[in-house]
Amino acid sequence: MSDALNGFPSGGVAVVIGASGGLGSAFFRQLEESGRFARVVGCSRAGVPRIDLEEEASIEAAAAHVAGLGPLRLVVDATGILSDGAMVPEKALARIDAEQMARAFRINAIGPALLIRHFAPLFPRKGKSVFATLSARVGSIGDNALGGWISYRSAKAALNQIVRTAAVEMARGRPEHVMLALHPGTVDTALSRPFACKGLAIRTPDEAAGLLLRVIDRADAADTGGFLSYAGERLPW
Average pLDDT over residues 6-15: 96
Q: Which of 58, 36, 35, 37 is nearest to 48 (CA)?
A: 58
Taking the model in full, what pTM does it have?
Answer: 0.94
Domain parsing of the chain, residue ranges: 13-229
DSSP 109: I
Instruction: Inform me whether the pLDDT recorded for 218 exceeds 90.
Output: yes
Query: 83: part of which helix (H) or strand (E)?
Result: none
Tell me the pLDDT of the chain averaged across its residues: 94
Strand-pairing partners, residue 177, are 129
Residue 148 DSSP one-character state: -
% of the chain residues with pLDDT over 90:
90
Q: Are 121 and 166 in contact (CB under 8 A)?
A: no
Under 8 Å between Cβ of 149 and 90: yes
Q: E strand or H helix at 183, and its extent?
A: strand 177-183
pLDDT band for position 98 (cuts 50, 70, 90) = very high
Q: What is the DSSP letter of 138?
A: G
Query: How many Cβ atoms from other residues are within 10 Å of residue 197's Cβ?
Result: 7
Among the listed ranges 61-65, 168-172, 188-192, which one has the minimum average pLDDT value?
A: 188-192
Residue 142 · residue 237 · CB < 8 Å = yes
Query: Confidence class of residue 192 from pLDDT cuts 50, 70 and 90?
Result: low
- As a whole number of angstroms, the longest Cα–Cα distance in the chain is 52
CB-based contact 41:16 (threshold 8 Å): yes
Q: Among the CATH numbers 1.20.1250.20, 3.40.50.1100, 3.40.50.720, 3.40.50.980, which is that of 13-229?
A: 3.40.50.720
Residue 131: C-alpha distances to residues 62, 177, 182, 198, 209 (Å): 16, 8, 10, 33, 15
Q: Can you tell me the mean pLDDT for 210-233? A: 98
Mean pLDDT of 100-129: 98
Per-residue burial over 121-139, b = 16 or more CB atoms within 10 Å of its CB, e = otherwise: ebbbeeebbbbbbbbbbbb
pLDDT (0 to 100) of residue 122: 98
Mean pLDDT to the nearest integer, 181-210: 81
Q: For residues 148 and 167, what is the distance between their CA atoms, to the nearest angstrom? A: 29
* Region of poorest pLDDT, from 48-57, 94-103, 115-124, 200-209: 200-209
How would residue 15 be classed by pLDDT, with cut points 50, 70 and 90?
Answer: very high
Termini Cα distance of the chain: 30
Mean pLDDT of 101-121: 98
Q: What letters, b where the CB count within 10 A reaches 16 and e where it falls short, cover 9-48?
A: beebbbbbbbbebbbbbbbbbbbbebebbeebbbbbeebe
